[in-house]
Structure 1
Amino acid sequence: MSTPREEFLAGERPDDVALFLAESYVSDDRLGQFGTDVEGGVLIVVDGERGRNAFQAATGTGAMEFAQSAMSLEGEIDDDLTGGRCPEAPDDDDHVPQFVFAFAEERNEDVGGIYAEGDVIHAYAQCRCGTAYSDRWNVSQR
């Protein structure tokens, strides 16, 4: 039996979103009851609408507005959504994601590129330094 987190990361939950909130960013212990405690924070997988609302409540920013702002700078986000590499300071431990917002997009051969190869995860992170960045990957290649 797989968990919602495993299903999401496998691209099997295209109607859901995933949120990673670092414990250094939010210290509300109640979040654990909505998601999975992971190293450094909590990862929540919920349906899209509830997830966007939870993201806004936790960060004060609209999820899609944040994603649009993060799209302009590519970085690396770990495929488990709990870490990454800030493009502004690639070797500094202080540059870790405070939160990550992600969604899956189903395979779409008409679009081409990585979308023709399989399901794609789109992930957007906010670094501790304030830099917002994005990453995307084909589920079958990670």
Structure 2
Amino acid sequence: MTDQRAEFLAGERPEDVALFLADSFVSDDRLEQFGDPVADGTLIVVDGERGRNAFQAATGTGAMEFAKSAMSTEGEIDDDLAGAQCPDAGEDGDHETQFVFAFAEEQNEEVGGIYADGDVIHAYAQCTCGTAFSDRWNVTEA
């Protein structure tokens, strides 16, 4: 795991975003030079603007538009961001993670809830079945 990835997962890079792109979704060997090869894909941590642009280029969807659409369905995204469990996995069909988009938000006691407890990772995933879903957690829980 690169230092950038470890720092992101610890909530220390709130200006950056993380992207997991499954090998089955994007087959471009050049991705590995920008991030960590992980089982079934590549995980990249880059500054927010470049990351949102890379997400759009890879998926054809705006990052924040995708996040907004995924917020209505809760699922479980791995705390290392390299995969997820689709909430519809009990149904027939293929349920593999295509991609994950994530960002960290600094602790904010005024907002309350989990935001008062520490930095929060917001993660959004797309499954091969078409389901988009979200998860969030305090970095202290990861």
TM, length-normalised to structure 1: 0.95
Residue in structure 2 matched with residue 73 of structure 1 by the alignment? 73
Q: Aligned letter for 1:6?
A: A
The CA distance in 1 between the partners of 2:10 and 2:59, in whole Å, is 26
Residue of structure 2 equivalent to 1:17: 17
Gaps in structure 1 of 5+ consecutive residues: none
Does 2:135 match 1:138?
no
Question: When the two structures are aligned, how many residues end up with a matched partner?
Answer: 141
Q: CA RMSD in A?
A: 1.4
Structure 2 CA distance for aligned equivalents of residues 40 and 92 of structure 1: 22
Q: Contact conserved, 2:16 with 2:45, CA < 8 A, in 1?
A: yes
Does 2:38 correspond to 1:38?
A: yes
Q: How far apart are the structure 1 equivalents of 2:6 and 2:90? A: 28
Instruction: State the 1:84 CA deviation.
Output: 1.1
Distance 1:105 1:30, change over 3 A: same
**1:58 aligned counterpart, secondary structure:** helix
User: Displacement, 1:96?
Assistant: 2.0
AA partner of residue 88 (structure 1) = D
Query: Equivalent residue of 2:80, what SS?
Result: coil
Match for 1:116: what amino acid? A
**TM-score computed with the length of structure 2 as normaliser:** 0.95
Structure 1 CA distance for aligned equivalents of residues 80 and 115 of structure 2:
20
C-alpha separation between the residues in 1 aligned to 2:92 and 2:29? 28
Deviation of 1:62 (Å): 0.2
Unaligned residue ranges in structure 2 (runs of 5+) = none
**Relative to 1, partners in 2 of residues 1:93 and 1:138: Cα closer, same or farther, differing over 3 Å?**
farther
